[in-house]
Chains A and B, each alone.
Chain A
Amino acid sequence: MEGGFGPKIVFEIAGIKVTETVTNTWIIMALLILFSFLATRKLEQMPKGLQNFVELLVDGIYKLTAQTMGKDKIGFAPYIGTLLIYLVCANLAGLFALRPPTADVNTTMGLALITFFMIHFFGMKRKGVGKYLKGFLDPIPLMLPMNIISELATPISLSFRLFGNIVGGLIIMSLLYGGLAGIGAKLGIMIPIFQVGIPVPLHLYFDVFAGVLQSFIFSMLTMVFVSMAMD
């Protein structure tokens, strides 16, 4: 476990280090593209099998967006759906022995910056640049630095919360696996018998529960902030 818990460098292209985070993102992207290709290949009027499930998913995301952001902002549903599905897959990657890409602050900061720019771009688009920028001087012009700091806090809090939750789970799980392997070696058991059942409840909590909840919260907050900036 030398080098800490940071992502390992897989290979280098022209001096640029490509880490596990990037390769695992590629794997998840490839799987999602394959899934969407397979799911939309033979669409029928009367859905059955996989099409049923996909229609339920798409319908659910559209309904959630309409309820949270309002009917007039339904156009955000494809982005929110992409974000939610990607984050769920990324956070659950730990179950398949892949390092979750969200356990790297670069990924979560990137996603939070998309949200940050969306908030300000759509705020300006809806209200007009002048009126939007004037909002920073509310309620008194003296509050300008406070308003700027408070806007900058949004992407930081979004990204650090997701990153912290996932990397915390990852560190605890790696420590547990290391400890269980150590116990096995001390007792002279060569078969990894301790690693089979004991980590299951912790995987359920850290990967499934925290992972799905955090991805949901991330997309929910994106929706709430973008719609707040537009209203």
Chain B
Amino acid sequence: MRNYSNIFKNLALLTHIGILMIIPIFGAVYLGNLVDQKLGTNNIFLIAFIILGVGSGFLNVYKVVMKDIKKKK
């Protein structure tokens, strides 16, 4: 049971990491577009939000992976 639990846990995290990386980026594009349309600005917010989204997507994955690595040490 012990080994199986670990395998399933890693499998669950594996399927999660991909989505975790992509959702902030999509969310940021949507939000940036929305703010740009509301304020009538020319893609400034879109670019700013995309940078934020990409950063937080990376941060998400980094956090999950680092916590797992620290636990194993």
A residues sitting closer than 8 Å to B (CB atoms) are 63-64, 67-68, 143, 145-147, 149-150, 152-154, 156-157, 160-161, 216-217, 220-221, 224, 228, 231
Contact = CB atoms under 8 A, between A and B. Distances in A.
Contact of A67 (B1, B27, B52, B67): B1
Contact of A147 (B1, B23, B56): B56
Contacts of A149: 24, 27-28, 52-53, 56
Chain B interface size, as a band, is: 20 to 34
Contacts of B2: 67
B59 A161 contact: no
A156 B12 contact: no
A161 B2 CA distance: 27
Contacts of A157: 16, 19-20, 23
Contacts of A224: 9, 12-13
A221 B23 contact: no
A133 to B, nearest CB: 16
Interface of B: 1-2, 5-6, 8-9, 11-13, 15-16, 19-20, 23-24, 27-28, 52-53, 55-57, 59-60, 63-64, 67, 71
B13 to A, nearest CB: 7
A109 B53 CA distance: 21
Contacts, number: 71
Contacts of A216: 8, 12
Contact of A228 (B24, B53, B67): B67
Contacts of A217: 11-12, 15-16
A153 B20 contact: yes
Contact of A153 (B1, B8, B56): B56
A220 B52 contact: no
Nearest to B6: A67
Nearest to A214: B15
A64 B5 contact: yes
Contacts of B24: 149-150, 153
B8 A220 contact: yes
Given A67-B1, A147-B56, A153-B20, A161 B9 contact: no
A143 B24 CA distance: 14
A160 B20 contact: no
B59 A147 contact: yes
Contacts of B19: 157, 160-161
Contacts of B13: 221, 224
B23 A156 contact: yes
Contacts of A154: 20
B60 A153 contact: yes
Contact of B63 (A64, A150, A161, A220): A150
